[in-house]
C-alpha cells in the first residue's frame, strides 16, 4: 500500500471530497420536506393536516385560523400545538381515534369557553395540558379525572370563578397547577390538607384572583416544600395578624413565594384607602402585630414530643439533628431519649428539664443545603391530664388559704349559742330532772329576758324540795318580781354543783 494521504477535520481525505464534490447547504424548506418524508406521516399514521407544520412526532397548527381541531390527526402525534386559533369548544369527539402517544396538548389563546368532561378520554397519557388565556368560567366535576398521568396543568388568565372539589380527582402525578389571573374567591384547599388528593403537587399558583381571606392554620400546616411554591400575591386579602405571621415566617424561611413577590404581597386595612404591604404590619396600628418567631414547641416533664424537620427541599439525600447539648442524632433509633424517625423528625421521650433548648435539623438536598431550628420549652411540672393544669405547690397553697379562712369563720362568725326567748317566759323544768341538773351538761339553763335585752345566764333558784325530796340548804329565796324596764338578774343556785350520781351531798 502506498503512503496514506492526510485527512481533514471531517475525517475525509481530499481525494474522497473531490470525487463527491463540494456540498452546498440545503435550503430550509427542502430540509423540512426531508424530515417530513422521513417521518411516519406518509404511512399508515396519516398525512399532515393542511395549514399545519409536521416535524417528526410534532404537529404544530399554531396561528392557522382554525375554528376546530383538524381531522384526522396522525396517530403518532406526541405534541399537538393548537394555540392562537379560534377553537371555542372542545367536544368529546375532537379526537376520533385514540392518541396513545400524545403527551402535550397546547390550546392557549383560543377563546375556549367549553370543555367536555369526556374531552380527554382519548389521550390517557397526556402529561402537559395548556388551557391558558381562554374564557373558561368554571371547572366542572371530574373534568380532568381521565388524565391520571398529567404533570403540568396551565389554567391561568381565564374567567374561572368556580372550582369543583372533584375537578382534580385522580391526578396523582400532578406537579404544577397554574390558576393565576382568574376570578376565584375560594379555592378548595382541602385538596392539599392531607396530601392524598394531590400527593405530588409542588407548585400552586393562585395569584391575582379574588381571595379575601385565607385559612392560615391550614396553610401553616402544609409542608414547607409546598408552601415554597404557593403563590398568593395580588389578591384583595384582608389584613390581620395571622396573615402577617404566615408571610413573615415564609420570609424568615426564605420561601420563594414570599421572597420573589414581596411587593405584590399586600392586604387591605379598614382605615387605609390603598393596600399595604403585609410585611409592614409589624407594630403598625391598628393591628400592632408582633414579630414572627421561629418554630416553638411547649411540653411538660415526662412527655413525648416529635420535632418536625419541615424543610422546603425535595429529594433530600440525608439529614441529621443536633441537640442543644451538641449531640448529633444521625441514624434511626438514636440513643437514649432521642430517636430519628423515618420521615426525618426527631422524637424525644420522657422529657427532662435539660432537654429544653434549640434543636437544629441539617438537611442536604440535591442542589443546596438547609438548616432548620426548633425551640423546645419544657415546663418544670408534669401534666396529668388534658384539663389538669395545677401543680403540687399551687394546690398546697390553695389548701392552706382555705384552712385559714375556715378557722377565721369558726372564730369570728360562729352564731351565739344562747337563744333569746321570744314571747312569754317558759316555766323552768322540774328540778328532779337528772338531765337538767347534770354537771356534764354543756348548756346551762337560762331565764327568759325581756325582748330587746341581751340574754344573761342564770340558774333556777326556787325554794322547795331538792333532789330526792330533800330541802335545799342555803338556797337563796327567789326575789319578788320587779316591774319596770329592766328585770333583776337572778342569783345562781350554789347547790347546783352537787353530785348528780349520789344522794349524799358533798360536805366541805
pLDDT digits (tens, 9 = 90+) for 152-205: 999 999 999 999 988 998 999 999 999 999 999 998 887 887 777 889 999 999
SS3 432: coil
> What is the side-by-side strand order in the sheet with 237-238?
237-238, 266-268, 276-277
Hey, how many other C-beta atoms are within 10 angstroms of the C-beta on 115?
22
Within a domain: 338: yes
What CA–CA distance (Å, rounded) separates 305 from 334?
A: 15
Tell the burial category of 358 from Cβ atoms under 10 Å away from its Cβ (0-12, 13-18, 19+). middle
Tell the burial category of 458 from Cβ atoms under 10 Å away from its Cβ (0-12, 13-18, 19+). middle
Give mean pLDDT in consecutive 10-residue pieces for the chain, a chain of 508 residues. 42 37 41 44 63 92 93 90 96 88 96 94 95 96 94 97 90 95 90 81 95 90 90 94 91 92 93 89 81 77 87 81 86 69 86 87 81 84 53 76 88 64 50 44 45 42 45 47 46 43 44
Tell me, what's the pLDDT at 26?
Answer: 38
Within a domain: 437: no
The residues with which 44 forms a beta bridge, in sequence order, are none
Within a domain: 371: yes
Within a domain: 343: yes
Which structural domain, as residue segments, surrounds residue 323?
A: 297-379
Q: Three cell numbers at 397?
A: 397553697
Tell me, what's the pLDDT at 48?
Answer: 87
Tracing cell 399586600 back to the chain, one arrives at 266
CATH of the domain at 346: 2.60.40.10
Within a domain: 309: yes
Within a domain: 132: no
Sign of CA dihedral 43, 46, 52, 56: negative
Q: Three cell numbers at 184?
A: 376565584
Tell me, what's the pLDDT at 336?
Answer: 65
Tracing cell 378557722 back to the chain, one arrives at 407
Hey, how many other C-beta atoms are within 10 angstroms of the C-beta on 453?
12
Asked whether 306 and 345 are in contact (CB, 8 A), the reply is yes
Within a domain: 302: yes
Tell me, what's the pLDDT at 62?
Answer: 94
What CA–CA distance (Å, rounded) separates 301 from 353?
A: 7
Tell me, what's the pLDDT at 233?
Answer: 96
For the chain, what is the domain count? 1
Strands 318-322 and 357-364: antiparallel
Within a domain: 335: yes
Amino acid at each position: 500500500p502506498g503512503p496514506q494521504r492526510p485527512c481533514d477535520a471531517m475525517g475525509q481525505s481530499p481525494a474522497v471530497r473531490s470525487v463527491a464534490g463540494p456540498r452546498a447547504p440545503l435550503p430550509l424548506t427542502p430540509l423540512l420536506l426531508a424530515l417530513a418524508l422521513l417521518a411516519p406521516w406518509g404511512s399508515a399514521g396519516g398525512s399532515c393536516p393542511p395549514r399545519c407544520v409536521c416535524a417528526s412526532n410534532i404537529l404544530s397548527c399554531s396561528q392557522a385560523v382554525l375554528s376546530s381541531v383538524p381531522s384526522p390527526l396522525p396517530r403518532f402525534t406526541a405534541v399537538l400545538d393548537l394555540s392562537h386559533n379560534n377553537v371555542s369548544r372542545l367536544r368529546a369527539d375532537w379526537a376520533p381515534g385514540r392518541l396513545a402517544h400524545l403527551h402535550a396538548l397546547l390550546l392557549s389563546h383560543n377563546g375556549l369557553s367549553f370543555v367536555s368532561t369526556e374531552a380527554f378520554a382519548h389521550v390517557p397519557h397526556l402529561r402537559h395540558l395548556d388551557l391558558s388565556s381562554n374564557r373558561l368560567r368554571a371547572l366542572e366535576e371530574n373534568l380532568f379525572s381521565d388524565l391520571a398521568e398529567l404533570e403540568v396543568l396551565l389554567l391561568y388568565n381565564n374567567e374561572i370563578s368556580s372550582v369543583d372539589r372533584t375537578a382534580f380527582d385522580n391526578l396523582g402525578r400532578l406537579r404544577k397547577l397554574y390558576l393565576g389571573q382568574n376570578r376565584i374567591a375560594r379555592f378548595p384547599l382541602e385538596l392539599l390538607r392531607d396530601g392524598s388528593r394531590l400527593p405530588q403537587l409542588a407548585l400552586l399558583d393562585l395569584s391575582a384572583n379574588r381571595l379575601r381571606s385565607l385559612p392560615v392554620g391550614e396553610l401553616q400546616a402544609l409542608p414547607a416544600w409546598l408552601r415554597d411554591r404557593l403563590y398568593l400575591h395580588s389578591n384583595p386579602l384582608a389584613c390581620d395578624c395571622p396573615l402577617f405571621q404566615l408571610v413573615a415566617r415564609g420570609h424568615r424561611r426564605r420561601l420563594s413565594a414570599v421572597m420573589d413577590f414581596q411587593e405584590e404581597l399586600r392586604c387591605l386595612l379598614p382605615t387605609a384607602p390603598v393596600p399595604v404591604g403585609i410585611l409592614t404590619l409589624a407594630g403598625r396600628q391598628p393591628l400592632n402585630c408582633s414579630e414572627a418567631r421561629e418554630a416553638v414547641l411547649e411540653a411538660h416533664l415526662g412527655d413525648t414530643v416529635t420535632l418536625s424537620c419541615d424543610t422546603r427541599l425535595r429529594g433530600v439525600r440525608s439529614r441529621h439533628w443536633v441537640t442543644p447539648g451538641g449531640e448529633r442524632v444521625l441514624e434511626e433509633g438514636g440513643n437514649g431519649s432521642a430517636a430519628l424517625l423515618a420521615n426525618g423528625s426527631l422524637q424525644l421521650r420522657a422529657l427532662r428539664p435539660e432537654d429544653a433548648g434549640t434543636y437544629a435539623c441539617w438537611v442536604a438536598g440535591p442542589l443546596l443545603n438547609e438548616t432548620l431550628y426548633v425551640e423546645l420549652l419544657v415546663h418544670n411540672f408534669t401534666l396529668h391530664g388534658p384539663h389538669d393544669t395545677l401543680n403540687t405547690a399551687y394546690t398546697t397553697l390553695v389548701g392552706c388559704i382555705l384552712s385559714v379562712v375556715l378557722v377565721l369563720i369558726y372564730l369570728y362568725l360562729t352564731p351565739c349559742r344562747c337563744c333569746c326567748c321570744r314571747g312569754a317566759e317558759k316555766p323552768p323544768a322540774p328540778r328532779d330532772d337528772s338531765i337538767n341538773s347534770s354537771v356534764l351538761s354543756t348548756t346551762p339553763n337560762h331565764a327568759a329576758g325581756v325582748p330587746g335585752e341581751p340574754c344573761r345566764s342564770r340558774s333556777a333558784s326556787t325554794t322547795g324540795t331538792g333532789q330526792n325530796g330533800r330541802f335545799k340548804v342555803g338556797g337563796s329565796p327567789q326575789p319578788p318580781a320587779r316591774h319596770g324596764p329592766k328585770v333583776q338578774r337572778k342569783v345562781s343556785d350554789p347547790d347546783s354543783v352537787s353530785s348528780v350520781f349520789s344522794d349524799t351531798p358533798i360536805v366541805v
